[in-house]
Structure 1
Amino acid sequence: MHSKIGMSRLYGALVCGLLAATSYAGNAAAQGRTLTAQDYAQAERYMVYNTRPLVDHDVGKVHWLDDAHFWYLDHDASGDHYKQMDASNGNVSPLLDQAKLAAALSKATGKPVKADKLEITDFRVAADGRDDIEVHGTHYLCDFKGAGHCVDKSTVVKTGKEPGVLSPDRKQEAFIRDWNLWVRDVATGKETQLTTDGVENFGYATDNAGWKHTDNAILEWSPDSKQIATFQQDQRKDGDMYLVTTKLGHPELQSWKYPLAGDKNVTMIERVIIDVPGHKVVRLKMEPDEHRSSLCDDISCGEDGGWDDVKWAPDGNTLAFVSTSRDHKHETFRIADAKTGEVRTVFHEDVPTYYESGNGAVNWRYLPGTNEAMWFSERNNWGNLYLYDLADGKLKHAITTGDGNVTEVLKVDAKTRTVWFRGVGRTQGVNPYYQQFWKVSLDGGEPVLLSPEPADHTVTMSDDGKYFVDSYSTTDKPPVTVLRDANDGHTVATVAKADISRLLATGWQPPQQIIVKARDGKTDLYGLMFKPTHFDPSKKYPVIDYIYPGPQTGSVYTYGFAPAQADHQSLAELGFIVVAIDGMGTPWRSKSFHDAWFGNMGDNTLPDQVTAIKQLGQRYPWIDLDRVGIWGHSGGGNATADAMFSYPDFFKVGWAESGNHENREYEDDWAEKWQGLLVTNKDGTTNYDNQANENIAKNLKGRLMLVHGSIDDNVPPYNTLLVIDALIKANKNFDMLLIPNVHHGYAAATPYATRRRWDYFVTYLAGDTPPTEYQLKAWPWR
């Protein structure tokens, strides 16, 4: 399939670590204005590392210490301030003595630590009364009596370095060692082996989704901390993925299990329950399940980790779980007896395309006290909640109905039969992407809106369900954070109101929300538009389309407030109109909207991108439809190349980063969910041909840069090499940038790649000349 000569040269460049970009013979420098380093510095002013520090009192998410207290970070011009609020009366006090902590951490680390920039990521009170404080991934035990003293927790309790999952009583943590599951005592560090038959590629609780392979243990502790639900993961028949590092001398071979779409064998799991005190393993009496999730493309993909599709009964006697078929079209709700391993199938849901159980976290719940289960379904074209009887597996009634989605259930109180959830599209006239917060009875009835402001709401609930902290904002209105009563939503106290006066003083401006019609001429599409702060309506501006086609998310990071979204405003400063448009096939809207191009991933929302930009060009005379560029990363890199091949007369310049250009060369679960299982026809064609960028690369007319990291273990670089091979065979000119020893993100090379992208659009889309080798700030890009 590959050109042996062309591919060997390219692969040689990869291994040798060359950062290369081809140049076209006879391609003269563009005639236009010459940009200076000052122009690029003006653009860099709007990068997130420069804009975020200028936003004061943007509290956002808080951390509950107990049912009546939470802590949060409050930043202003004088630095970071860690505070706590008493929810019972709204009183605010310092969380800790920051000066003492800074002095103690400086002594403990041997490095200077500033009191106004501590960067605390977790805070809790340890069993011995000391404060357990996490800074940059390291836990310190701190005593603030006297001058204050902190010690690295790992030096106090001698244990292995494997990451552990803490039990509910916080006395034990479970971890993987040599393919087996162990527990360690938190106080003493004593370690106990729980399983003995784990072997390589058939280990317990292992976290390997193909594109993700970590040392984390995937499991669920029972509420009484005496049992663990997990699995033995069978990858013995899976295919391998190979990458090599770039260095002087022999390269290092990286190899791990990575099944591809269409493979005969994929990862399977055998479910087990472990009695921790008795060191007894109970294997559930059922056939192995595919390594699948009802939520996404990994069995552990919720924000809080864990095993998403597993729920313990409060008494620990039974365990509910959901099995997902390989193609995500069949879901089975089951209950297991924790002592015997007997499994009972309760009910199924079968769908024609793919099933999803929510956004951000699974929305189903196990309610054994009333012998019920709450289930999420899009059966009426919207994400709603339903109540099932566990005795006979029959539907009792719908909990929520109508248009709009339940996106994430935050809490269910079985005693009061109350459900609290985030939702979108449920309020007429409000942006359908704005998250709002609701409560509803398990017995149905009209949901109660607890966050009435027409804005995007980020909500954090107290464990007892009495309070919630609500931070709400829009693209042009900075966050207001309040403490609210979870019963009726009334404001108990104001936590903070963000102040953007320092940001506005730089000339910063918010993006403009835009609404256009989709390919069908009827459906509203939403997006954001970024204009230069020096915008002149009498000029014509080239437009750059930032794209992420989904299907699991869209192009717009948030419709709430953000001081920067990627580098969109920075790029606009260089003389462009930048747009990000959520096309059909992306989530948060109706099921039919999300299903728009199921089985045809080559669509990539491009018909919507093209018609949307044309509408904007007709609406705004300062948009130049003869100069349209496009760029994206990962799925956006795939869509960018697709755009340049499928619409070669419309898109003139493309920058495609780390694209999954051929989903048969990508982790199995991703494409098999959105494209379906691979089917090969008698003539050799397949149902995957419509998504393969190498098949249409010969259509390229414009200027295309292909970028990839040489050890990308998410989207292997062979995805881009397949496209390069096709371009060479078609005798097409193109540009390429191979970045040695980086994964899917570009880490320390991100500033370089970003600057090169700016140069690329300035040169080939705007027709201007960039400054020579401008240096963007080296920053801990996350």
Structure 2
Amino acid sequence: MRSIFGTSRLHGALMCGLLALGSAGGAIAADRTLTAQDYAQAERYMPYNTMPLVDHMVSTVHWLDGTHFWYVDHDASGDHYLRMDAATGKAESLLDQAKLAAALDKAGKHDIKADKLSISDYRVAADGRDEITIGGTHYLCNLKAAGECVDKATVVKTGKEPGVLSPDRKQEAFIRNWNLWVRDVATGKETQLTTDGVENFGYATDNAGWKHTDNAILEWSPDSKHIATFQQDQRKTGDMYLVVTKLGHPELQAWKYPLAGDKDVTMIERVIIDVPAHKVVRLKMPPDQHRSSLCDDVSCGEDGGWDDVKWAPDSKTLAFVSTSRDHKHETFRIADAANGNVRTVFHEDVATYYESGNGAVNWRYLPETNEAIWFSERNNWGNLYLYDLNNGQPKRAITTGEGNVTEVLKVDAKTRTVWFRGVGRTPGVNPYYQQFWKVSLDGGEPVLLTPEPADHTITLSDDGKYFVDSYSTTSKPTVTVLRDANDGRSVATVATADIKRLLATGWQPPEQIVVKARDGKTDLYGLMFKPTHFDPAKKYPIVDYVYPGPQTGSVRTFGFAPSEYDNQSLAELGFIVVAIDGMGTPWRSKAFHDAWFGSMGDNTLPDQVTAIKQLAQRYPWIDLDRVGIWGHSGGGNTTADAMFRYPDFFKVGWAESGNHDNREYEDDWGEKWQGLLVTNKDGTTNYDNQANQLLAKNLKGKLMLVHGSIDDNVPPYSTFLVVDALIKANKDFDMLILPNMHHGYAVDTPYVTRRRWDYFVQNLAGDTPPKEYALKPWPWR
């Protein structure tokens, strides 16, 4: 499901295990016996082995101010922390790494090495010391003399609740006992802001069902004096239950988890808190849905925050967008921070679902000119429109034509300029390659600032004068340059990736492939992985790694990556592995994305089948009689669906943590992509077309079902529905239950990965795997 699958939450998982049940019908007669050396060769291409072999690949940087940024430059001798001056293009050491490592060791962090510091955040504190974050611990370090570091928590005594820092960095807001508090960063003094928060009706609480954390969801005003947040009402929301496996009495886990079709779901009451006055101003409007214009949570970004709320620069008003339960109706509103008055400005209604961008909420509030930038796919593509806030009417289209604005990175209200990432806007370029543009609010053609036909990752300076551009393709390693944001000219080269050490292992990049979709017209893009010992005279079974969408696809990136999960590793064992973004996935046109709205059982499978058939016609070394499929989360759903819906085509499937029926998953996911639940007079529903258990009787091939026993994203009951149906249909199948594992498999990941390799080797290739090969622990997890 969404994040479930996504970017983040989803794919980072390559999973875990313990309990195996059952065995399915006749395996192919073994042809060859693989050795531990064969598996070791496959393991050479796992991410933890390939990533360290890429030198000088800088994909992200961290701006310190308008003219300085820091980054990590890795080579064979380790990680080097550097700081570049954008004005001169000169780089120097960010800090003395050996001195820092020694100081951290004295401070009690004994597992640190100077060449592998793993710093996640760095800044200069107000007193001039270096403020460094490693592994979630914040250190204050004085490296000017002998070198000394102290854990910041031992200097300023505060509670342990995670806080949201104010813009002036003097306060942080946090949740305690369902109420919102602030603490003074310098002294640790804590002040309670609200007093009427109670269990399941608390302030700023972070609970989307599939996600439930202690983080506070809020937006500070620019002047650091007000907080926009909500009181989240879950008092009528249904509960989810899981049980931890242990000796003795089991431990029950329970939390609020609304399901699709529930009469009562989570609601929010919007408030603005005057921090100095400790005053709560409740917005004068009915309770709102716990929804987002972008994702299936009110907080979509990795850094938290409340995406659909934007403060005015003067902190007197804020704009926000309300999303209906079914995501078909969006309402743009403006609130007065002093009295809570709310004005509705305009609406957008759509037939399927509305999204405000890809990867980021793209609308902006421009109160100085009484305007707003609004994102819409009304012409079948994601474009930006300028609205008049006085009358709620559109003034003009800011961008037009084919291709999508994916992320607005900056708006300069004075020069009336917008900088944005976009895809599909340059003819002849892979439509998934992100490029960077600027455009005027007052009309005119957008200006392309990154002309290279490659995928571009952009990090814009705080003042918008410069940006760092890291660009690459699947076969061309990353080049990172500093550029002028006005015209895109190169100011300095930051780093150029060197893959000589990687190539020495025999590594080869995946091949980009293009096939036709189910309609015979639309181009589909994907990646194909072949063994490094590929022999065109042989016939190879093919494995389809799948993630169906709708919020992401099977291909993580069309930019450079030394490993795409374990796709190359699996190929090394004698397979052709493909990942293909079928219709129903994002980044293309609205029609492409909407291809199977309301029929989630589609799962891109018609595209996957026709694509594999086309590849088999194109390449005689693909064996169309031996087709396997696997995926995690949404891909686990798709895998089981494929084995049931196309039982004569897919012979072997490995389904991990699948949301096999979205009535058993959190409400926002299914209700966005499938629609609100409707039950007919005969008891059938509009969700029946996506329920895997209703098709389980069709199974013919070998199917492994995998799930973590305490998966709080996709609870294991979703897989149990399919298990129950298979048993009642007298079908053989395999199952692997991972005790005390969540949606990602953590320390069990190597075990599950090896078992998956074994499953395809034995049942699809007809070979014999080595006995209990042990993959290394995954240090990068």
**TM-score range normalised by the length of the shorter chain:** over 0.9
Q: Deviations over 1:222-273 (max 9, x none)?
A: 0000000000000000000000000000110000000000000100000000
Give the 3 Å change call, closer, same or farther, for CA 781–500 of structure 1 in structure 2: closer
Deviation at 1:27, TM superposition (A): 4.9
Determine whether 1:310 maps to 2:338. Answer: no
Contact 1:653–1:765 (CA under 8 A) maintained in structure 2: yes
Which residue does the alignment assign to 1:414? 413
- Relative to the length of structure 2, the TM-score reads 0.97
| 2:114 match | 115
Determine the structure 2 residue equivalent to 1:13. Answer: none
SS at match of 2:141: strand
Decide whether the 8 Å contact of 1:33 with 1:768 is kept in 2.
yes
Report what 2:561 is aligned to: 562
Question: 1:476 touches 1:561 (CA, 8 Å); kept in 2?
Answer: yes
* Residue of structure 2 equivalent to 1:66: 65
1:26 and 1:233, CA in 2 relative to 1: closer, same or farther beyond 3 A? closer
1:305 CA drift (Å): 1.6
| Cα deviation 1:168-219 (Å, max 9, x = unaligned) | 0000000000000000000000000000000000000000000000000000
Displacement of 1:113 in angstroms is 2.0
Match of 2:7 in 1: none
Residues 595-606 of structure 1 aligned to structure 2 (within 5 Å): 595-606=594-605
Q: Shift of residue 18 of structure 1?
A: 9.0
Query: Is residue 276 of structure 1 aligned with residue 272 of structure 2?
Result: no
What SS does structure 1 have at the residue aligned with 2:133?
strand
Q: Say which SS state the counterpart of residue 109 (structure 1) adopts.
A: coil
Structure 2 counterpart of 1:8: none
Alpha-carbon contact 1:303-1:361 (below 8 Å) kept: no
Uncovered stretches (5+) of structure 2, i.e. residues with no partner:
1-15
- Which deviates more from structure 2 when the two are superposed, residues 149-158 or residues 298-307? 298-307
TM-score (norm 1): 0.97
**Could you tell me how far apart the structure 2 residues matched to 1:607 and 1:171 are?**
55
2: CA distance, partners of 1:361 / 1:151:
36
Equivalent residue for 2:613?
614
Higher relative CO (Cα under 8 Å, sequence separation at least 6) belongs to: 2
Q: How far does residue 32 in structure 1 lie from its aligned partner after superposition?
A: 1.0
* Cα drift, residue 534 of structure 1: 0.1
Q: Name the counterpart of 2:98.
A: 99
Query: Which residue of the partner structure matches residue 357 of structure 2?
Result: 358
CA distance in 1, matches of 2:780, 2:633: 17
CA contact (8 A) 1:71 1:83 kept: yes
Residue matched to 2:135 = 136
Residue 238 in structure 1 maps to residue 204 in structure 2: no
Contact 1:302 / 1:362 at 8 angstroms: preserved in 2? no
State whether residues 30 and 769 of structure 1, in contact with CA within 8 Å, keep that contact through their aligned partners in structure 2. no
Cα 1:25/1:631, change in 2 over 3 Å: closer
Report runs of 4+ in structure 1 exceeding 6 Å deviation.
none
- For 1:11-35, what per-residue CA distance to the aligned partner results, in whole angstroms no more than 9, with x for missing partners? xxxxxx9933234488578321000
After the TM superposition, which residues 460-499 of structure 1 pair with which residues of structure 2 at under 5 Å, given as runs? Answer: 460-499=459-498
Superposed CA offset, 1:361-384 (max 9, x none): 100000000000000000000000
Q: Aligned residue for 1:35?
A: 34
Residues in 2 aligned to 1:302 and 1:397: alpha-carbon distance in whole angstroms: 29
What is the aligned residue count? 766
- In 2, Cα distance between equivalents of 1:215 and 1:101: 31
Q: Report the residue type matching 1:609 in the other structure.
A: Q
In 1, Cα distance between equivalents of 2:690 and 2:139: 50
Q: Which amino acid aligns with 2:87?
A: S
In 2, Cα distance between equivalents of 1:90 and 1:591: 41
Contact 1:471 1:480 in 2 (8 A): yes
SS state at 2:92 partner: strand
Aligned residues of 2:28 and 2:765 also touching (Cα < 8 A)? no
| CA contact 2:48–2:780 (8 Å) conserved in 1 | no
- Hey, what's the Cα distance between the residues in 1 that align with 2:739 and 2:618? 44
Alpha-carbon distance between aligned partners in 2 of 1:734 and 1:173, rounded to the nearest angstrom: 52
Q: Which secondary structure does the structure 2 equivalent of 1:21 belong to?
A: strand
Aligned residue for 1:230, secondary structure, equals strand
What residue in structure 2 maps to residue 425 of structure 1? 424
CA distance in 1, matches of 2:303, 2:212: 17
| Paired position in structure 2 for 1:217 | 216
Deviation at 1:779, TM superposition (A): 1.8
Matches within 5 A, 1:245-264: 245-264=244-263
Q: Which amino acid aligns with 2:709?
A: S
TM-aligned CA deviation for residue 679 of structure 1: 0.4
Matched, 1:664 2:658: no
Residue 11 of structure 2 aligns with which residue?
A: none
Paired amino acid for 2:289: E
Distance 1:59 1:334, change over 3 A: same
Contact 2:542 2:626 (8 Å CA) reproduced: yes
TM superposition shift of 1:355: 0.1
What corresponds to 2:5 in structure 1? Answer: none
The superposition leaves residues 449-474 of structure 1 with CA deviations (integer Å, 9 ceiling, x where unpaired) of 00000000000000111000000000
Q: Distance in 1 between matches of 2:578 and 2:375?
A: 34
Is the Cα–Cα contact under 8 Å of residues 25 and 732 in structure 2 kept in the other structure? no
- Residue in 1 aligned with 2:196? 197
CA distance in 2, matches of 1:611, 1:22: 33
Q: Taking every aligned residue pair, what percent have the same amino acid on both sides?
A: 85
Q: How far did residue 139 of structure 1 move?
A: 0.7
Q: Distance in 2 between the 1:50 and 1:312 partners? A: 45
Partner amino acid, structure 2, of 1:729:
K
Query: 1:290-309 counterparts in 2 under 5 A?
Result: 290-309=289-308
Looking at structure 2, the residues matched to 121 and 110 of structure 1 have their Cα atoms a distance apart, in angstroms, of: 15
Distance 1:724 1:258 in 2: 23
Distance in 1, matches of 2:17 and 2:672, equals 36
- SS of residue in 1 equivalent to 2:390: coil
Give the corresponding residue for 1:90: 89
